[in-house]
Structure 1
Amino acid sequence: MSSPAVQHDSDDDMDLFMDKFKTQRYKNGFKEDTWEEDFEKVPMFMKSIPEDFDPVEYPELACIQAILHDEDRAPEVQAKSLKNEGNEFFKEKKYEKAILCYTAALKKNCEDQEINMVLLTNRAAAQFHLGNMRSSFNDATAAKKIKPDHLKALIRGAQCCIEVRAFARALQWCDEGLKAHPTDKKLLELRAAADKHKRAADRDARKAKAKEKKLLNEKEALLAAINERGIKLLQSTKARRHDSDSDDEDESSSGTIAELSLDGLSSKEATGAQVFRDEQGSLHWPVLFMYPEHQQSDFISAFCENTCFIDHLAVMFGEELPPWDTDRKYLSHNLQLYFEDEQSETLYQVKQDVPLLKVMQHQRFFVKAGTPSFIVLVKGSSFCKQFLTGKKVK
């Protein structure tokens, strides 16, 4: 028990403190211009944990986290603490941080499978929101192994399957879930969606397969028509390299004449056109005319095999001549056509009044990259004479 003298001294000190408090400002409180920021630093009033907070700047928060993550506590307690922290991050849509918390909690290896199941489904949800469907599905599967009828795991697994277009598998998850929860609205909605998407995917697959079969039949018919006409296709460089690796290569063809395959009809990638059959069964070829004197060319996307060369030349060099023909020499009746046999280095002259098919059936005519090509020269011109000098011409 304190003496009256000591009690009197205490009262005097308190009176002195109160007098000063009334007349002097308290220096240790929040500052007027930064009070809101200072208020947010108090853990009790924090709306969210600061990004990468500094323990020196937030000592109170650092102390609280040290208590929460005390390794001396039971694994179940630590796991629950981390789960709650992850849930707070999840509410703030900070899914990456939520995943880190749930993962840390699972690493505690607590024996309470109910906690582990919740952690897995929560992590599956966070992964789902990040678009990590495979990871989300794996967590949902792991949660379902702990409790096969766990509703959240079943829903999440079905959702992941739908997102990756595994509709048949989504139906399996929904059906499995509906056995335990036959009236669950979400499962019923997911099953209806999965069934709708599966029907559409199956329909699209059937259409694609039918289209592929139709195209294959058309290509086979096209190749058969080319074969019947005795037209020879020249292989692409890529195909020749592939064939050169074979020990069974036919030396007589030097690996250049293609067996009738689509490889010899590869012009579509280069020119945008490809040989085709019309309703009457006639072939239409993309044809290239080259004018070496002027380093120019013309491309006819669909030259009917029964059409003569003069029919096209009369249109191409009729009343309106090409702008590069400044001397007006390229008149249809004044032109000579050739095709080149690259193997024998020989030029073969082509008559203008013969159809394309007859020329393509020539013993030494080869279709390169799906496009028959011809050289066009002005008859009797100095360039023509110079160009043909030293070449074998037939």
Structure 2
Amino acid sequence: MDPKQPEESDEVMDQFMEKFRTQKYKDAFNEENWEEEFEKIPMFMKKAPEDIDPEKAPELACLQAMLFDNDRSPEEQATSYKEEGNEYFKEKNYKKAITAYTEGLKKSCKDAELNAVLYTNRAAAQFYLGNFRSSLNDAIAARKQKPDHLKAIIRGALCYMEIKNYSEAVKWCDEGLQISPTEKKLLETRTKADKLHRAAERDARKLRQIEKKKQAEKESLLRAIKDRGIKLLEPSEKKEDDDEEEETSGALHNGISASENVTGAQVFLDENGLLHWPVLFLYPEHSQTDFISAFHEDSRFIDHLNEMFSQDLPPWDTDSKYLAPNLEIFFEDEKSQSFYQVNPDSTLLQVLQHGRFSVKAGTPSFLILVKQSPFCKKYFSDKKLHRTH
């Protein structure tokens, strides 16, 4: 609420008195309506209206002007706003309470105790609205005005509890208990904060241990891949004079984990130090795919094909062409835009060690086509193809 100037208050009061002289009160008080009628009188109102229009309610505007008269000292005005805020707070109208306390603080009075109360009361209102950061800032501001303000210390400790900064909550509780060693709220809060702080530290230690173990496993995995001469490539931003994918340590890290986001599986080392890869088989003739979540590096391609295309043929193979002996396997070298045929008797490791093979996004992928089929001939008609002999 903005305080009115004295001359405006006089004018409003004159209007009110003129209205009082010229208009008769229509309904007299009686036992049934006296409380309702009293509520219409500004001095006896238990709750102020939402908005005060000087034209419609000059008596209320007059009363407001008397309460927040600029001729009064900043301390008196700030006190009036504090009391107004307290009334709103009792009604659980925390937003209006915050507004009132803020107006009181704007008076910049020299009374540190009063300012500390205004900050602390506003902190309480912010707290009940769930604005814990704002509440904490006000508690800190209150302590700058009065370092030993106990209510501000309690409020700050509760805020730290809400934002899960348990170490600071313990610290504030200790500072408050130096002032009031028997303060029940501080004792309870400190006990809870200390317990949660210890639990948080314990969880953090466990998490660090888990992360350390994961990092060690990843480093071992990278060494195993590098020792085998397998190239892992991850798309990187193109440089001005280099439009090829760049192989880096970071790309290696990204390369072995990227597949987890797409398929839910990624390459891993077993207890014998052997690699198992997620592998994707593509069937371009039918726009179909097969995913092998753990292809052992020493397994042969023909063994997988025999298992996949022996008895139960896929429903999309309506011509029953996809039988292991009829199939050819290829991989693409994106750098040279060429395709290389894979010997079905080769192991996965042998193919991964091919000089033109690169594992992209952590998942080796291969094309499966029916040999000498019209689709196969057409598919490679405009592509560079390197066949095995």
Check whether TM > 0.5: yes
Match among 274, 291, 301 for residue 309 of structure 1: 301
- What is aligned with 1:59? 58
State the TM-score, normalizing by the size of structure 1.
0.84
Q: Aligned partners of 2:137, 2:338: CA distance in 1, in Å?
A: 68
Residue 86 of structure 1: CA displacement? 0.8
- What is aligned with 1:29? 27
- What is aligned with 2:315? 323
Q: Aligned partners of 2:113, 2:376: CA distance in 1, in Å?
A: 92
Confirm or deny: 8 A CA contact 1:258 1:264 kept in the other structure: no
Confirm or deny: 8 A CA contact 2:278 2:293 kept in the other structure: yes
Q: Which amino acid aligns with 1:314?
A: N
Q: Which amino acid aligns with 1:85?
A: E
- What is aligned with 1:290? 282
Confirm or deny: 8 A CA contact 2:148 2:176 kept in the other structure: yes
Query: 2:353 aligned with 1:393, yes or no?
Result: no
- What is aligned with 1:145? 144
Residue 39 of structure 1: CA displacement? 5.4
SS in 1 for 2:369: strand
Cα pair distance change 1:76/1:319, threshold 3 Å: same
- What is aligned with 1:10? none
Confirm or deny: 8 A CA contact 1:289 1:297 kept in the other structure: yes
Runs of at least 5 residues in structure 2 that lack an aligned partner in the other structure? 1-23
SS in 1 for 2:331: strand
Q: Which amino acid aligns with 1:28?
A: K
Residue 122 of structure 1: CA displacement? 1.0
Q: Aligned partners of 1:27, 1:91: CA distance in 2, in Å?
A: 33
Q: Which amino acid aligns with 1:61?
A: L
Query: 2:75 aligned with 1:84, yes or no?
Result: no
SS in 2 for 1:223: helix
Q: Aligned partners of 1:201, 1:113: CA distance in 2, in Å?
A: 37
Residue 223 of structure 1: CA displacement? 0.5
Confirm or deny: 8 A CA contact 1:124 1:137 kept in the other structure: yes
Residue 194 of structure 1: CA displacement? 1.2
1:355-370 residue pairs with structure 2 within 5 A? 355-370=347-362
Residue 123 of structure 1: CA displacement? 1.2
Q: Which amino acid aligns with 1:190?
A: T
- What is aligned with 2:103? 104
Q: Aligned partners of 1:232, 1:73: CA distance in 2, in Å?
A: 81
Residue 51 of structure 1: CA displacement? 1.6
Deviations 1:291-338 (A, max 9, x none): 121122111111111111122212221211111111000001111111
Residue 220 of structure 1: CA displacement? 0.5
Residue 352 of structure 1: CA displacement? 1.6
Residue 376 of structure 1: CA displacement? 0.9
- What is aligned with 2:372? 380
SS in 2 for 1:337: strand
Residue 185 of structure 1: CA displacement? 0.7
- What is aligned with 1:276? 268
Q: Aligned partners of 2:134, 2:177: CA distance in 1, in Å?
A: 24
Residue 135 of structure 1: CA displacement? 2.3
Alpha-carbon RMSD: 2.5
Confirm or deny: 8 A CA contact 1:339 1:347 kept in the other structure: yes
Q: Which amino acid aligns with 2:101?
A: Y
Q: Which amino acid aligns with 1:387?
A: Y
Confirm or deny: 8 A CA contact 2:74 2:109 kept in the other structure: yes
Deviations 1:343-377 (A, max 9, x none): 23332221222211111111111111111111111
Q: Aligned partners of 1:163, 1:305: CA distance in 2, in Å?
A: 52
State the TM-score, normalizing by the size of structure 2.
0.85
Q: Aligned partners of 2:29, 2:279: CA distance in 1, in Å?
A: 86
- What is aligned with 1:22? none
Q: Which portions of structure 1, spanning 4 or more consecutive aligned residues, are displaced by more than 4 angstroms?
A: 30-39
1:63-74 residue pairs with structure 2 within 5 A? 63-74=62-73
Q: Aligned partners of 1:104, 1:359: CA distance in 2, in Å?
A: 76
Q: Aligned partners of 2:379, 2:161: CA distance in 1, in Å?
A: 67
Cα pair distance change 1:117/1:389, threshold 3 Å: closer
Confirm or deny: 8 A CA contact 2:78 2:109 kept in the other structure: yes
- What is aligned with 2:167? 168
Query: 2:297 aligned with 1:299, yes or no?
Result: no
Match among 336, 342, 345 for residue 344 of structure 1: 336
Query: 2:253 aligned with 1:262, yes or no?
Result: yes
Q: Aligned partners of 2:324, 2:28: CA distance in 1, in Å?
A: 98
Confirm or deny: 8 A CA contact 1:154 1:173 kept in the other structure: yes
Q: Aligned partners of 1:194, 1:379: CA distance in 2, in Å?
A: 71
- What is aligned with 1:201? 200
Q: Which amino acid aligns with 1:285?
A: W
Residue 27 of structure 1: CA displacement? 7.4
Match among 371, 382, 388 for residue 363 of structure 2: 371
Q: Aligned partners of 1:70, 1:256: CA distance in 2, in Å?
A: 74
Q: Aligned partners of 1:293, 1:117: CA distance in 2, in Å?
A: 77
- What is aligned with 2:11? none
Q: Aligned partners of 2:69, 2:89: CA distance in 1, in Å?
A: 23
Deviations 1:36-84 (A, max 9, x none): 8765423355332122243444333222212111111222221211111
Q: Aligned partners of 2:285, 2:209: CA distance in 1, in Å?
A: 49
Confirm or deny: 8 A CA contact 2:277 2:293 kept in the other structure: yes
Q: Aligned partners of 1:37, 1:332: CA distance in 2, in Å?
A: 94
SS in 2 for 1:230: coil
